[in-house]
Amino acid sequence: MDPLLLARWQFAITTVYHFLFVPLTISLAFTVAGFQTAWYRTGKEQYLRLTKFFGTLFLINFAVGVVTGIVQEFQFGMNWSDYSRFVGDIFGAPLAIEGLLAFFLESTFLGLWIFGWGRLPKGVHLATIWIAAIGTVLSAYFILAANSWMQYPVGYTVNEAAGRAELTDIVAVLTSPMALVTFVHTIPAAFMTGGAFVTGIASWRLLRHPDTDRPAFRTAAKVGAWMVVVSGLLVAITGDIQARVMTDAQPMKMASAEALWETSQPASFSIFTIGSLDGSEEIFSIRIPYLLSFMATGDPNGKVEGINDIQARYEEKFGPGDWTPNIPVAYWSFRLMIGAGILAAAAAAWFLWLMRRDRLPTRFMVATAILLPFLPLAANSIGWIFTEMGRQPWIVWGLMTTPNGVSPSNPWYAVALTLVTFTLVYGGLALVELSLLLRQIRLGLPTVGPESAPTGEGEPALALGY
């Protein structure tokens, strides 16, 4: 077996799996902080109960996010050692800074938040969850800056003698258009995910137990739905900007996303195609005229370069070879990502309409609500598959190809062993986590005492602790 293929599968599985938890961690941290702030300011018990309810779900999710993140930190060295040697001077810095600035904040202040109920003054305790939440966003920024450098290398020179890329401008790396636009695209996507999660759970509770805690869950369902709608809008706007940055930086990725073989002006956007995507024939497709030109260039009559022309250009620049990514994967992942995102935002808007004033969710709506969190989750994963597979055959765009980055001396069976084990363990953890989430959701809002429970050390106050 080919160690390269195994290493790529391992990276894909560990990263996509890790990223199921990351967006939920980011957005739920803020949601819980929001509920706790509402409790702090109004003193209303329902906000405290929501804080604890979603706080517990947040922590169940956070645990798996943390442990899968450890693998992320080390797998560059384990499976991609030649990549690490080549880029370490540049890529290592944001990773180390992420740990020092963000991971310490998140883990330390979450520890304070979990165990600090009743021990810290209320205001200080509230601050701990906000600081942890800010830590999650900082973390996202640095890791996205690192990834963006792989998509669009800036601020470096290649030192041929040392055989590596060397950093010349850290500010350029941290403020590259790719890094900034990816950050503002990913964060609202995370909030869509968390919003959908909150709405889905709250609506389910409203239907199954319409008499318990109706006002609290109505509030939560609406807050969640608003999060999805507003961040959905932001995701669309920033995605549009990102498409233009991508067209400039990685024209091949954009052309592949559309399976646009021939350079076109104006270029139409195909929503759906039946037939092969190899450029030979198209059996049937639904197309929106001018849309691709607009997405790629901002001008409905703009010229969009096709795969064939780009391939010819790259052969001149990089030598003979196939410089195209997997076209069907790029094509379908691009539209599935957009489609799932739009569907989620539309469903959430429809919910808000149905729940206007005092209306309760309908049965059909609840069935949709349970599926709702899976739409942004799918869009996130598929978006990353598009981003990473659309960059192929490069591991660092234009500088290093993926086969050149893999660890040269790892035997296939070692990579296979870790791939299979991580996959099985991750699968098992997913089942355990899901069962715990469902159990917690079934238990409903925790009860809090008259003096708003967080008293000293008693059992109820420890609901979040151990």
Cα–Cα distance for residue pair 436/243, rounded to 1 Å: 39
Q: Binding to other proteins by residue 15, rule CB under 8 A?
A: no
| Span of 87-95, 204-212, 287-295, 379-387 interacting with other proteins by CB under 8 A | 87-95
Cα–Cα distance for residue pair 222/356, rounded to 1 Å: 9
Strands 284-288 and 269-274: antiparallel
Backbone angles phi, psi at 356, to 5 degrees: -60, 150
- With tokens 């309409």, the residue in question is 353
Q: Binding to other proteins by residue 424, rule CB under 8 A?
A: no
Strands 156-159 and 394-396: unpaired
Between residue 259 and residue 288, which ones bind other proteins under the rule CB under 8 A?
A: none
Q: Min. distance of Cβ 211 from other proteins in angstroms?
A: 25
Q: Give yes or no for a contact between 92 and 45, defined as CB atoms under 8 angstroms apart.
A: no
Among 16, 44, 45, 89, binds other proteins (CB under 8 A): 89
Q: Residue 286 forms beta bridges with which residues?
A: 272
Q: With respect to other proteins, which residue has the nearer C-beta, 449 or 458?
A: 458
| Span of 24-32, 91-99, 215-223, 315-323 interacting with other proteins by CB under 8 A | 91-99
Among 166, 240, 282, 309, binds other proteins (CB under 8 A): 166
Backbone angles phi, psi at 96, to 5 degrees: -65, -40
Q: Give yes or no for a contact between 181 and 245, defined as CB atoms under 8 angstroms apart.
A: yes
Q: Binding to other proteins by residue 436, rule CB under 8 A?
A: yes
| Span of 225-233, 236-244, 385-393, 457-465 interacting with other proteins by CB under 8 A | 457-465
Residues 6+ apart with CB under 8 A from 206: 214, 217, 218, 221, 360, 361, 366
Q: With respect to other proteins, which residue has the nearer C-beta, 73 or 322?
A: 73
Q: Binding to other proteins by residue 457, rule CB under 8 A?
A: yes
| Span of 29-37, 159-167, 270-278, 293-301 interacting with other proteins by CB under 8 A | 159-167
Q: Give yes or no for a contact between 188 and 238, defined as CB atoms under 8 angstroms apart.
A: yes
Residues 6+ apart with CB under 8 A from 6: 412, 415, 416, 419
Between residue 109 and residue 148, which ones bind other proteins under the rule CB under 8 A?
A: 109-112, 114-116, 119-120
| Span of 331-339, 363-371, 416-424, 445-453 interacting with other proteins by CB under 8 A | 416-424
Q: Min. distance of Cβ 129 from other proteins in angstroms?
A: 14
Q: Binding to other proteins by residue 425, rule CB under 8 A?
A: yes
Q: Min. distance of Cβ 205 from other proteins in angstroms?
A: 19
Q: Residue 288 forms beta bridges with which residues?
A: 269
Quick one: CA dihedral 334, 339, 344, 346, positive or negative?
Answer: positive
Q: Site size for other proteins, by CB under 8 A? A: 75
Q: Min. distance of Cβ 74 from other proteins in angstroms?
A: 6
Q: With respect to other proteins, which residue has the nearer C-beta, 76 or 331?
A: 76
Residues 6+ apart with CB under 8 A from 399: 86, 153, 158, 165
Q: Binding to other proteins by residue 427, rule CB under 8 A?
A: no
Q: With respect to other proteins, which residue has the nearer C-beta, 73 or 315?
A: 73
- With tokens 């099985």, the residue in question is 424
Q: Binding to other proteins by residue 233, rule CB under 8 A?
A: no
| Span of 284-292, 302-310, 383-391, 403-411 interacting with other proteins by CB under 8 A | 403-411
Q: Binding to other proteins by residue 407, rule CB under 8 A?
A: yes
Q: With respect to other proteins, which residue has the nearer C-beta, 120 or 336?
A: 120
Longest dimension (CA), the chain: 75
Structure tokens at 292: 């691709």
Q: Binding to other proteins by residue 456, rule CB under 8 A?
A: yes
Q: Binding to other proteins by residue 445, rule CB under 8 A?
A: no
Between residue 35 and residue 74, which ones bind other proteins under the rule CB under 8 A?
A: 56, 59-60, 62-64, 66-71, 73-74
Q: With respect to other proteins, which residue has the nearer C-beta, 332 or 426?
A: 426
Among 421, 434, 447, 449, binds other proteins (CB under 8 A): 421
Cα-Cα-Cα-Cα dihedral of 366, 369, 371, 376, to 10°?
170
Rg (CA), the chain: 24
Q: With respect to other proteins, which residue has the nearer C-beta, 171 or 274?
A: 171
Q: Binding to other proteins by residue 408, rule CB under 8 A?
A: yes
Q: With respect to other proteins, which residue has the nearer C-beta, 159 or 265?
A: 159
Structure tokens at 94: 């944001």
Between residue 92 and residue 111, which ones bind other proteins under the rule CB under 8 A?
A: 92-93, 95-101, 103-104, 107-111
**How far is residue 34 CA from its own chain's centroid?**
21
Residue 131: count other Cβ atoms within 10 Å of its Cβ: 18
DSSP string covering 95-139? HHHIIIIIIHHHHHHHHHHHH-TTTS-HHHHHHHHHHHHHHHHHH
Among 4, 28, 90, 375, binds other proteins (CB under 8 A): 90
Q: With respect to other proteins, which residue has the nearer C-beta, 273 or 410?
A: 410
Q: Give yes or no for a contact between 398 and 253, defined as CB atoms under 8 angstroms apart.
A: no
Q: Binding to other proteins by residue 409, rule CB under 8 A?
A: yes
